[in-house]
């Protein structure tokens, strides 16, 4: 079934993520402090490979230009700060839980609280048009 195949792909991705060091706080800290470029280059290589994959899948289709959303920069800074402080992006936190790192549960809890809080803050504080995020 497709779910079993996706679970196997996720398992393999998690194993690779762990083996590369993306779930080790010390390794992630070295990447953010520019003390070791191994993870940074691996990350950049993954982004480049994903870009090529998307271009191949698109097969020359034109992508519609989207308006710049003013929440992109603060959202990116918040995401990066969370990653630097916890040593884990959302995927990394899930892999850390699989590795038995109990503290990752706090990171996942923080992700869940942030995902819950954003719509509330959006309605009451920011009031940015959401259609820029829906495209």
The full DSSP string for 26-38 is: HHHHHHHTTS--H
Q: Write out pLDDT tens, residues 59-99.
A: 878 878 877 777 788 888 988 888 888 888 888 999 999 99
pLDDT > 70? residue 130: no
pLDDT at residue 115 tops 50: yes
pLDDT at residue 8 tops 90: yes
d(CA 23, CA 15): 10
pTM of the predicted protein model: 0.74
- % of the chain residues with pLDDT over 90: 41
The per-residue pLDDT for 86 is 87
- Percent of the chain at pLDDT > 70 equals 94
As a whole number of angstroms, the distance between CA 84 and CA 103 comes to 15
Q: Of the given ranges (2-6, 36-40, 130-134), which has the lowest mean pLDDT?
A: 130-134
Q: What is the pLDDT of residue 135?
A: 47
């Amino acid at each position: 079934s497709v779910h079993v195949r996706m679970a196997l792909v996720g398992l393999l991705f998690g194993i690779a993520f762990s083996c590369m060091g993306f779930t080790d706080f010390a390794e992630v800290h070295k990447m953010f402090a520019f003390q070791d470029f191994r993870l940074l280059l691996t990350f950049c290589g993954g982004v480049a490979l994903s870009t090529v994959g998307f271009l191949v899948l698109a097969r020359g289709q034109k992508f519609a230009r989207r308006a710049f959303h003013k929440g992109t920069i603060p959202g990116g800074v918040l995401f990066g700060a969370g990653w630097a402080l916890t040593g884990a992006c959302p995927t990394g936190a899930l892999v850390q839980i699989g590795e038995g790192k109990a503290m990752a549960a706090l990171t996942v809890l923080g992700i869940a609280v942030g995902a819950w809080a954003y719509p509330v803050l959006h309605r009451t504080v920011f009031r940015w048009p959401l259609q820029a995020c829906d495209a």
